[in-house]
Structure 1
Amino acid sequence: MNRNLTAYRVMATIVGVLLVVLILVGVPLKYLAGDGTDLQEIGAWITTNLGVLHGWLYMIFLFAAFMLARREAWELPYTLVTLICGTVPVLSFWAEHRATQRVRAEAAADALEPDPSR
């Protein structure tokens, strides 16, 4: 497996998990739990700290996805969808799966093509 794909997959997974925890756990706890309760404080901690961490790691994700897109010569719309999916909970996992399938399929197709230098 190429390094660009591995870096992209790792970052997509990390960013996806953080986003799910942030949006589906932290935000509801912060805003739906009673004021001053332990649950509300946990939600506030999650949204503050994981929010910042997700933001920084998302920048690394963008870079990893961009480098993969460049190496694989993806079209602009495909690249943009892949990048944007990192901002939507659960969609980042779908985008990672889709990108991995595409890279592996293209690598398999390239392996089957005869060498033109012979």
Structure 2
Amino acid sequence: MRPLFTTYRVLAFVVGVALAFCALVAAPMKYLFAEGSSIQELGDSLSILWALHGTLYMVYFLVALMLAYRARWSPQFTLLLLIAGLVPLLMFFVEHRAAERMKAEHPELA
């Protein structure tokens, strides 16, 4: 289960950073600055990262689902894992909770 857990943690970090960057940097640059300004155009160019986040989120979703199934986590916690990739900055809190829970339930991973 260690490779699956490691994959989950890496994907959680990458998906969390991508979502936070898109939501907190790229989107404001695109929509809050004057149309045609260099910052607005940069924000528009950076919007391609939403597609990257979406693609990585699909992989994260499957890995998180497999991990939750193998760890026998409750449906509520599994749902929290899956939703975390859709709410900016929530991923970091949930990944930390999942890591604590995994280490408590599977000490061999610590």
Q: Same fold (TM over 0.5)?
A: yes
Aligned length: 108
Q: Which stretches of structure 1, 4 residues or more, deviate above 2 A after TM superposition? A: none
Q: 1:103 aligns to what?
A: 102
Partner of 1:64: 63
Distance in 1 (alpha carbons) for counterparts of 2:40 and 2:65: 37
Letter of the structure 2 residue corresponding to residue 69 of structure 1:
A
- TM-score by length of structure 2 reads 0.94
Structure 1: unaligned runs, 5 residues or longer: 111-118
Q: Counterparts of 2:55 and 2:27 in 1: how far apart (Å)?
A: 19
Q: 1:107 Cα shift?
A: 1.1
For 2:13, the aligned partner's letter is T
What secondary structure does 1:35 align onto?
coil
Q: Which protein is bigger by CA-based radius of gyration?
A: 1
Distance 1:76 1:85 in 2: 14
Within 5 Å, which residues of 2 pair with 1:38-57?
38-47=38-47, 49-57=48-56
Unaligned runs of 5+ in 2: none
CA RMSD of aligned residues (A): 1.2
Find the residue that maps to 1:83 and give its secondary structure. Answer: helix
Helix, strand or coil for the counterpart of 2:36? coil
Q: CA deviation at 1:82?
A: 1.0
**Identity over aligned pairs, percent:** 45
**Whole-angstrom distance in 1 between the partners of 2:99 and 2:74:** 15
Q: Deviations over 1:66-88 (max 9, x none)?
A: 11101101111110011101111
